[in-house]
Amino acid sequence: MIRALATRLILALGLLWFSASACAFDLKQLSQQLREPAVVRGQFTQEKHLRALPMPLISRGKFVLARDHGLLWLLRQPLQQDYRISASGIAQRTESGWQAAGQQGATKRQNELFLAVLGGDAEALQRDFELDLQGSAEAWSLSLIPRARLLQQIFDAIHIQGGASVERIELLETQGDSTLLLLESTRIDDQLSPEEQHDFTY
């Protein structure tokens, strides 16, 4: 279940870096901004709202988003589990090292879409979603309505809000469940730490 939650959030996390510096901006500017940060680090709080449960499932952790490598998604509460997402797919850290996680159907498509977002591929996003950007550089919102059939089976919509960086991501799923992701303490850097470099390389 943790893997499924992480996989769906990975898709959203690819939308992370719509940092806004101009008073008015469009999809072209967002695409350019997606390509700019070399490394972004931060903390996350995830709330998974399930129809069958009266209270949300809450998890916390940290992430490292690297332009030339992919994403480290490091879950710390309620348990510890590390994921790595790159062009080669999704891997999970085990006692013997990183092990590839199987990808088929919707999971594979979500990973491909995440990488398109991470790379600032606005053309690919527009093939899969209707995009609606509102607000200013200081306070903006972006709504994504899926047009691709496979994504329509998973999501009703994805809503992102932020200012200088993304602060809130909400995923509304077709079966009535939803996920809220709050991104905090984000920091931009120009290089990975030795430990992060090792995690992306091996």
Q: Can you give the three-state secondary structure of 152-182, one letter per residue?
A: HCCEEEEEEEECCCEEEEEEEECCCCEEEEE
What is the percent of the chain where pLDDT is above 70? 75
Task: Assess contact for 177 and 35: CB atoms under 8 A.
Answer: no
What mean pLDDT comes out for the span 66-92? 89
pLDDT digits (tens, 9 = 90+) for 160-187: 887 766 788 888 999 999 999 898 998 9
Backbone torsion region of residue 176, taken as left when φ is above 0, otherwise alpha when ψ lies between -120 and 50, otherwise beta: left
The predicted pLDDT at position 67 comes to 85
- How does DSSP classify residue 67? T
Supply 25's token pair.
Answer: 């901006």
The predicted pLDDT at position 38 comes to 87
Supply 81's token pair.
Answer: 């589990």
What mean pLDDT comes out for the span 100-111? 66
Q: Beta partners for 171?
A: 158, 179
Q: Is 82 exposed, middle or buried (0-12, 13-18, 19+ CB in 10 A)?
A: middle
The predicted pLDDT at position 177 comes to 95
Three-state DSSP state, 150 = helix
pLDDT digits (tens, 9 = 90+) for 9-34: 555 555 544 433 434 667 777 777 76
Given a cut of 70, whether residue 104 has pLDDT beyond it is no
The rounded mean pLDDT for the chain is: 80
- How does DSSP classify residue 40? E
Three-state DSSP state, 29 = helix
In the Cβ-directed half-sphere of 33, how many Cα atoms lie within 13 Å? 20
pTM over 0.85: no
Q: Give the ranges where the chain is alpha helix by DSSP (H).
A: 2-13, 27-35, 105-118, 122-128, 149-152, 194-201
Q: Kindly list the structural domains of the chain, giving each domain's residue range(s) and its CATH number in brackets, ordered by start.
A: 2-201 (2.50.20.10)
